[in-house]
């Protein structure tokens, strides 16, 4: 098993969790619906924290639930947890081992709030601390950098949102995700060829907005973990508030820009970066106008609803990080310093 094979595994893993966990997720949604839920309080770290960023837009935009991202140090070091009145407390962790994430769910339980664990290890400490558990069913992930566990976390969050809404058309859209991801994987060879251009890249910024704000953070994290590149993620709106000043001729800007409500604003920024600042653009998009601006364009499948694009758009980004790691002469399966399971307090 290698990082590359785990990336290629994603269509099957996404289809499996959709079909095998739908009933359980619908049951959990019904139970949650019986509680007085006013908002979601969500704890996660690393890649799972980026899944939390997706939840921020997904549960807010579709279910009208505000999402507050937890600060676990308040629960561990400071011993001053906030009041969680009205909260559904969610912990997301691939391993379910990190004590600080577990502590947030334990405090939620103490305060009488419903708790939900989303994890790839249903017998983990996180799962044992929760009232409800969703097994993301990604299977063993042996490479250090998370790939299929990330997309399966996004899938179960999307399923939970659809179950809360109980709208048939959303479930029909979810059935197509595995196929769209398979199409995105067809970019593998092209991405590998294009990544050669960035052999000597030491720094870059990664742009995304809306649902794909999460994708920008996850792409940047993969570049940091695997290629040791100083990759900084930004919302396209935040980037205009100062950081754009660092861009000069040839500066690498990597962007996720699929169709959707924020698409035109991202396109406007990319046009400025290319025409006025002469930036080097890597663009993941289904829009021809955005792709035409890029030195390295990666075309997404057409017709993906914006709320589902993060599960598809991250795939070329994962492939880019993988191939660039090989090109730079680094080890993709076991990057230096970091470990598969990271426990923090």
> What mean pLDDT do residues 282-307 have?
98
3-175: CATH architecture: 3-Layer(aba) Sandwich (3.40)
Q: What gap in Å lies between CA 294 and CA 66, rounded to an integer? A: 35
> What mean pLDDT do residues 64-71 have?
97
Backbone angles phi, psi at 173, to 5 degrees: -65, -40
Do 3-175 and 183-327 show the same overall fold? Answer: yes
Q: Is residue 268 predicted with pLDDT exceeding 80?
A: yes
Positive or negative torsion for Cα 267, 269, 272, 278 = negative
Per-residue pLDDT at 343: 67
Q: What gap in Å lies between CA 335 and CA 153, rounded to an integer? A: 23
Q: What gap in Å lies between CA 101 and CA 75, rounded to an integer? A: 9
Q: What gap in Å lies between CA 176 and CA 308, rounded to an integer? A: 10
Per-residue pLDDT at 44: 98
CATH of 183-327, one of 3.20.20.70, 3.30.420.40, 3.40.50.2300, 3.40.50.10490: 3.40.50.10490
Q: Read off the pTM.
A: 0.97
3-state DSSP assignment of residue 267: helix
Q: What is the pLDDT of residues 202-246, one digit of tens each?
A: 999 999 999 999 999 999 999 999 999 999 999 999 999 999 999
3-state DSSP assignment of residue 39: strand
In the chain, what's the furthest Cα-to-Cα distance? 56
Residue 130, sorted as left (phi over 0), alpha (psi -120 to 50) or beta, turns out to be beta
What are the domain boundaries of the chain?
A: 3-175, 183-327
Per-residue pLDDT at 231: 98
Q: What gap in Å lies between CA 175 and CA 320, rounded to an integer? A: 26
Q: Is residue 344 predicted with pLDDT exceeding 90?
A: no
Positive or negative torsion for Cα 38, 40, 206, 296 = negative
Q: Is residue 340 predicted with pLDDT exceeding 80?
A: no
Q: Residues 249, 277: contact at Cβ < 8 Å?
A: yes
Per-residue pLDDT at 336: 85
Comparing C-alpha atoms, which of 290, 305, 313 is closest to residue 216? Answer: 313
Q: What gap in Å lies between CA 205 and CA 246, rounded to an integer? A: 10
CA 202 to chain centre: 23
Q: What gap in Å lies between CA 9 and CA 327, rounded to an integer? A: 22
Q: What gap in Å lies between CA 48 and CA 141, rounded to an integer? A: 14
> In this prediction, what percent of the chain has a pLDDT beyond 90?
96
Per-residue pLDDT at 145: 95
Per-residue pLDDT at 252: 98
CA atoms within 13 A on the CB side of 306: 18
Q: What is the pLDDT of residues 93-135, one digit of tens each?
A: 999 999 999 999 999 999 999 999 999 999 999 999 999 999 9
Q: What is the pLDDT of residues 157-196, one digit of tens each?
A: 999 999 999 999 999 999 999 999 999 999 999 999 999 9
Instruction: Find all residues with CB under 8 Å of 23, minimum gap 6, and list them.
Output: none
Per-residue pLDDT at 338: 73
Question: How sure is the predictor about 334, in pLDDT bands with cuts at 50, 70 and 90?
Answer: confident
């Amino acid at each position: 098993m290698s990082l590359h094979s785990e990336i290629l595994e994603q269509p099957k893993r996404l289809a499996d969790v959709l079909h095998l966990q739908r009933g359980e997720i619908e049951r959990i949604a019904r139970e949650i619906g019986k509680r007085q839920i006013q908002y979601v309080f969500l704890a996660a770290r690393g890649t799972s924290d980026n899944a939390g960023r997706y939840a921020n837009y997904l549960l807010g935009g579709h279910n009208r639930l505000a999402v507050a991202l937890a600060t676990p140090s308040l629960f561990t070091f400071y011993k001053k947890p906030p009041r969680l009145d009205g909260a559904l407390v969610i912990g997301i962790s691939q391993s379910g081992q990190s004590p600080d994430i577990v502590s947030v769910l334990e405090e939620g339980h103490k305060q009488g709030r419903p708790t939900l664990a989303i994890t790839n290890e249903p017998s983990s400490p996180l799962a044992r601390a929760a009232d409800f558990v969703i097994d993301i069913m990604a299977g063993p992930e042996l490479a250090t950098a998370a790939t299929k566990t990330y997309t399966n976390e996004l899938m179960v969050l999307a399923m939970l949102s659809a179950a809360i809404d109980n709208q048939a058309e959303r479930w029909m859209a979810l059935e197509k995700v595995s196929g769209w991801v398979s199409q995105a994987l067809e970019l593998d060879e092209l991405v590998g060829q294009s990544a050669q251009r960035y052999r000597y890249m030491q720094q870059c910024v990664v742009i995304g907005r809306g649902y794909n704000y999460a994708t920008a953070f996850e792409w940047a994290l993969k570049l940091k973990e695997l290629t040791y590149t100083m990759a900084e993620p930004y919302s396209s709106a935040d980037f205009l508030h100062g950081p754009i000043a660092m861009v000069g001729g040839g500066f690498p800007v990597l962007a996720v820009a699929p169709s959707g409500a924020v698409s035109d604003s991202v396109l406007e920024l990319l046009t400025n970066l290319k025409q006025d600042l002469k930036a080097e653009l890597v663009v993941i998009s289904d829009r021809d106008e955005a792709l035409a601006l890029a030195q390295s364009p990666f075309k997404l499948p057409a017709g993906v609803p914006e709320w589902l694009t993060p599960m598809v758009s991250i795939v070329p980004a994962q492939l880019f990080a993988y191939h660039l790691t090989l090109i730079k002469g680094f080890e993709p399966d076991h990057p230096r310093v970091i470990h598969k399971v990271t426990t923090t307090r």
